[in-house]
Structures are given as C-alpha cells and as structure tokens.
Amino acid sequence: VTAGNVFLADCPARLAVEIIADKWAVVVLYGLAGQPRRHGELAGLIGGISKKVLTHTLRRLESSGLVTRQAYAAAPPRVEYELTELGRTLIDPIRTLTRWAEANGEAILDAQDRYQPA
C-alpha cells in the first residue's frame, strides 16, 4: 500500500521492512544463505554478536517464517537453523543490497571523514 513511491504508515510493506531493517537480521540471513548452520557456527562466522542477541534474532526470524530451527537430541546438543522457502526469496534482495554496500562502502567512509556539521 503506497502512494506514489512513498510509504504510508502501517502498510504491510512498511511492516516487512521493519523486520529486515535490522543489522543483525540481515547479517544472520546472509549467513544462512547456501547452507544450514549451527548456532555456534553462525556466531563464529558473524563475529561480535553475543549468544543472547543471536538467539533472539533467530527466534524473531523463525517467528516470521523466514528460518526454521531443528534440534537433534544428542549430547552435546545439535541445533541447525535453515532458511525457509520464504527466507530464501529474501536472499536475492539482500545480495542486491550487499553488492551495493561492497561497491560503495568506501565512498561512505570517505564522506563521513570529510563531513563537517553546518
């Protein structure tokens, strides 16, 4: 539900954007692209994310139908997270974004260095 090209409050598109407009969510989804991953494996790949936040992020993605959680009864425990069909459809848009980021990250850092508040 958009007017022209601008979001209106409370439209579905805006709600969905709120889900993915999250630093950790994007990084976690990207980490799950291609193959299922275990909790600790994801933490290692991402770097700098605490267990608490990773778990919380995964739960939120799970509750939104983007990720599945599969626990295998064993000692030590083994839990695998995997993108759902819906989650996989998000990877392309994310890749578009990360390609942009890789191409323009330096430009942004340069701009930040040069920026003088008026």
Partner DNA sequence: CGGTATCCTTTTAGATACTG
Partner DNA sequence: CAGTATCTAAAAGGATACCG
Give the footprint of DNA on this chain (CB under 7 A): 22-24, 38-41, 48-53, 55-58, 69, 71, 76-79
Distance, CA of 59 to CA of 38 (rounded, Å): 14
Q: Which is nearer to a second copy, 17 or 40 (CB)?
A: 17
Q: How far apart are the first and last CA of the chain?
A: 37
User: What residue 36 binds from DNA, a second copy, none (CB within 5 to 8 A, per partner kind)?
Assistant: none
* Least distance in angstroms from the C-beta of 82 to DNA: 12
**Side-chain half-sphere of 103: how many Cα atoms within 13 Å?**
6
User: In this complex, which beta carbon is closest to DNA, that of residue 4 or of residue 117?
Assistant: 117
Q: Which residues of this chain interact with a second copy, rule CB under 8 A?
A: 2-9, 11-23, 25-27, 30-31, 33-34, 45-48, 59, 62-66, 69, 86, 89-90, 92-93, 96-102, 104-112, 115, 117-118
User: CA Rg, the chain, in Å?
Assistant: 17
If one counts every other C-beta atom within 10 angstroms of the C-beta of residue 26, the result is 17
Q: For residues 75 and 107, which CB has a smaller minimum distance to a second copy in the complex?
A: 107
Q: Which two tokens stand for residue 67?
A: 């990720």
Which one, 75 or 118, has the nearer CB to a second copy?
Answer: 118
Q: Look-up: residue for tokens 């539900």?
A: 1
From CA 36, how far away is CA 50, in angstroms rounded? 20
**In the bound complex, what is the minimum distance in angstroms from residue 52's beta carbon to a second copy?**
16
